[in-house]
C-alpha cells in the first residue's frame, strides 16, 4: 500500500466518523425537542396515610410522566380499547384537572375502580380477555399510550 492509498483510506475514515457524529447530533437534538410522555397503568388501593388501612376497592391508576425537556399541553385521557376506540369510563378521580401544562419531570394521574372499568367495558359491548391501554392526548393531536393490560370482562 503506498502513501496515496493510505491518504484515501484515512480520508474515508474521517468522512465516515463525521457522518456518524452528525447523525448522533441530529438524533439527540430531535429527541430533546420532541415530547416524551410515558404513560403507566398500575393497580392498587387508596390508603389513609401512615395507618396502612386501605379504604377502597381495587383501583386502576393511569399516570402520565413527562420525561422530556419541554412542557406538553394534555387535554384528554381515558382508555383505548382493542378496536382502537377511545372511551371514558365513569367519572375518574384525578390529581390535576385537564387541560393542563405538564412540565418536564412532572406527572399527573387519574384513577378509577377496577370494577367500574369492567362494568363500563361490558356496557360498550366488550367481553372475555380484553387488552386495555391507558392514554393521554395533547392539544396537537398526539396520543401517548401505556402498555396493554389484560382484564377479564
pLDDT in tens, 68-115: 999 999 999 999 999 988 887 778 899 999 999 999 999 999 999 999
Q: Indicate the pLDDT class of residue 16, thresholds 50, 70 and 90.
A: confident
Return the pLDDT at 31.
55
Return the pLDDT at 17.
75
Cα 148 from Cα 113, distance rounded (Å): 18
Return the pLDDT at 97.
92
* C-beta pairs of 138-143 under 8 Å, 24+ apart in sequence: 138/35, 138/37, 138/72, 138/73, 138/74, 138/75, 139/73, 139/74, 139/75, 139/99, 140/73, 142/35, 143/80, 143/86
Residue 55 has pLDDT above 70, yes or no: no
Average pLDDT value over all residues in the chain:
86
pTM here is 0.75
Residue 35 has pLDDT above 70, yes or no: yes
Cα 153 from Cα 143, distance rounded (Å): 25
Q: What distance, in Å, lies between the first and last C-alpha atoms of the chain?
A: 72
Amino acid at each position: 500500500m503506498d502513501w496515496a492509498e493510505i491518504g484515501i483510506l484515512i480520508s474515508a475514515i474521517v468522512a465516515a466518523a463525521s457522518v456518524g457524529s452528525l447523525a448522533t447530533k441530529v438524533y439527540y437534538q430531535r429527541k430533546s425537542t420532541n415530547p416524551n410522555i410515558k404513560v403507566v397503568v398500575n393497580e392498587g388501593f387508596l390508603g389513609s396515610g401512615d395507618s396502612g388501612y386501605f379504604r377502597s376497592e381495587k383501583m386502576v391508576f393511569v399516570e402520565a410522566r413527562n420525561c422530556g425537556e419541554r412542557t406538553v399541553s394534555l387535554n384528554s385521557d381515558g382508555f383505548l380499547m382493542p378496536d382502537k376506540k377511545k372511551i371514558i369510563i365513569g367519572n375518574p378521580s384525578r390529581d390535576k384537572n385537564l387541560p393542563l401544562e405538564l412540565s418536564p419531570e412532572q406527572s399527573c394521574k387519574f384513577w378509577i375502580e377496577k370494577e367500574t372499568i369492567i362494568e363500563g367495558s361490558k356496557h360498550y359491548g366488550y367481553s372475555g380477555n380484553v387488552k386495555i391501554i391507558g392514554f393521554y392526548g395533547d392539544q396537537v393531536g398526539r396520543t401517548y399510550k401505556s402498555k396493554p393490560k389484560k382484564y377479564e370482562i
